[in-house]
């Protein structure tokens, strides 16, 4: 069986690692991981038996074991474009992307996989992405990037993320299409979970009830709520609060009347809808069950396996899941990377690979 070694940078709770180790056609060995969040490190150690190395900015690339694939969901920080700076490293120095660059430059792995928010594509009118592309290409990598949605890979969550793959050789590559759309929250939610700590507040519950009560007696699709308690000089007091049940069975609360630009104030999914992207500061809520998703349901929303456990508070677990990658998406990309990499190897290497298998 062919073996690949990988490193897990900005590892979080280990979403990339789960994806790598889910692959059964090849032996995938993690030889190095790095993370600075102590709660994420606790979860990572609990599930993988290894406590990640600390701050990657303080780790010499020479001290990292040799590897074949680099994986990193790096934070997007402002990049410098000063004309006085010279050299490709100076253009990204001071950002965490610089640490990816210096490791790639030193270790020269066969492949890499990077992940970031969709907004990276348009950050600073595309200049940030242009800089990233230039840096990676100057290191000798053939790169491909695309925006993929978690929903297309079998989870009931709309979560668009930027992914970039790179190969040391000139290799043709296509991102996986993702043909598993159609899941809804009912597929992962335990409708018998009556945990009181998950219940919505009385304020939220009451205004959800008000929306549906008014729908029965009103021809209006957009329901206006009492905004008298808000100061008249605030947006809520001036323009009012409205709710609207969308055709996709999500309930949205907005600030602003019909003639105004709508400012979303709250978002509630339902058992028969798809969740908005789970992020560190927001957990999905269900209007029909009047509760938030549990940690276990959030785990499923991100495609983490049943065996994955959390040894931190529920609040920390949901925060870490919000920061994580969606496992099925990453796994599909890695499988595609390996397929195209091996497909493009010289015939002698392919014959040798067949003998190893």
- What is the spatial distance between Cα 344 and Cα 340, in angstroms, rounded to a whole number? 6
How many other CB atoms sit within 10 Å of the CB of residue 126?
12
Element (H, E) at 137: helix 127-138
CA–CA separation, 24 vs 241, rounded Å? 52
112 vs 69: CA distance, rounded Å: 5
Closest CA to 163 of 334, 342, 350: 334
| Six token digits for residue 254 | 């907005």
Task: Report DSSP letters for 175-210, one per residue.
Answer: ----------GGGT--TT---GGGBPPHHHHHHHHH
Strand order in the sheet with 69-72: 27-33, 3-9, 69-72, 111-117, 160-167, 142-149
Options 41, 76, 164, 298, the catalytic residue: 76
Q: What is the DSSP string of 272-338?
A: TS-BPPPBTTB--EETTTTEEPPHHHHHHHTT--TT----S-HHHHHHHHHHSPPHHHHHHHHHHHH
Active site residue 30: no
Active site (catalytic) residues? 76
């Amino acid at each position: 069986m062919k073996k690949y070694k990988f490193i897990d940078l900005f590892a979080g709770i280990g979403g990339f690692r789960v994806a790598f180790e889910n692959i059964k056609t090849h032996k995938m060995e993690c030889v190095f991981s790095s993370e600075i969040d102590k709660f994420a490190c606790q979860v990572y150690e609990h599930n993988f038996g290894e406590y990640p190395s600390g701050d990657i900015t303080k780790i010499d690339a020479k001290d990292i074991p040799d590897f074949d694939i680099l994986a990193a969901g790096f934070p997007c920080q402002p990049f410098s474009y000063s004309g006085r700076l010279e050299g490709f490293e100076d253009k990204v120095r001071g950002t965490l992307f610089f640490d990816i660059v210096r490791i790639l430059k030193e270790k020269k792995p066969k492949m890499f996989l990077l992940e970031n928010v969709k907004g990276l594509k348009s950050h600073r009118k595309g200049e940030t992405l242009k800089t990233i592309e230039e840096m990676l290409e100057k290191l000798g990598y053939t790169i491909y990037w695309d925006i993929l949605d978690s929903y297309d890979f079998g989870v009931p969550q709309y979560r668009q993320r930027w992914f970039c793959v790179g190969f040391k050789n000139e290799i043709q590559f296509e991102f996986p299409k993702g043909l598993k759309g159609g899941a809804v929250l009912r597929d992962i939610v335990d409708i018998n979970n009556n945990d009181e700590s998950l219940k919505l507040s009385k304020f939220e519950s009451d205004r959800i009830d008000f929306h549906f009560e008014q729908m029965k007696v009103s021809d209006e699709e957009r329901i206006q709520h009492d905004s008298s308690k808000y100061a008249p000089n605030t947006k809520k007091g001036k323009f009012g609060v409205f709710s609207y049940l969308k055709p996709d069975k999500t309930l949205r609360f907005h600030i602003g009347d019909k003639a105004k630009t709508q400012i979303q104030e709250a978002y509630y999914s339902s058992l028969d809808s798809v969740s908005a992207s789970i992020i560190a500061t927001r957990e999905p809520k269900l209007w029909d069950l009047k509760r938030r998703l549990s940690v276990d349901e959030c785990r499923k929303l991100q495609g983490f396996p049943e065996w994955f456990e959390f040894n931190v508070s529920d609040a920390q677990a949901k925060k870490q899941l919000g920061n994580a990658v969606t496992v099925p998406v990453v796994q599909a990309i890695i499988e595609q990377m390996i397929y195209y990499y091996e497909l493009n190897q010289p015939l002698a290497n392919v014959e040798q690979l067949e003998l190893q298998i």
